[in-house]
Structure 1
Amino acid sequence: MSFAQVARIIGEELPASAYKHSAWWASDLKRTQAVWLDVGYMACPLTARQVTFIRA
């Protein structure tokens, strides 16, 4: 998915750190933004504007 698609789905813009730091997408329960873990997915950023969600 593109970061723009993710932003549309969640209804708000992603923070600048999502574009600058791949660690923002880490599948780490300590990261509050990692809500994809709650529904059984891991995030794998591909580029500065693309991410793949993989069923865990």
Structure 2
Amino acid sequence: ATEGLRDKVEKLKIIYGSGVKTLDDLAGELDQNSHTTFGSLNSQVSIHSNSLED
């Protein structure tokens, strides 16, 4: 019984551990995407601001 419980606990650790890793990877990807998006947005704002000054 104890061994079966240990096996189940180990499986849960693997399942939830991989879920946490997946969420961490997703958070990193979203962070990178937001930096890219805001960089592009700032570039466009700068371009349009310069054209308004001309």
**By the TM > 0.5 criterion, same fold?**
no
State the TM-score, normalizing by the size of structure 1: 0.17
State the TM-score, normalizing by the size of structure 2: 0.17
Structure richer in helix, relative to its length: 2
Structure richer in strand, relative to its length: 1
Q: Which has the larger radius of gyration?
A: 2
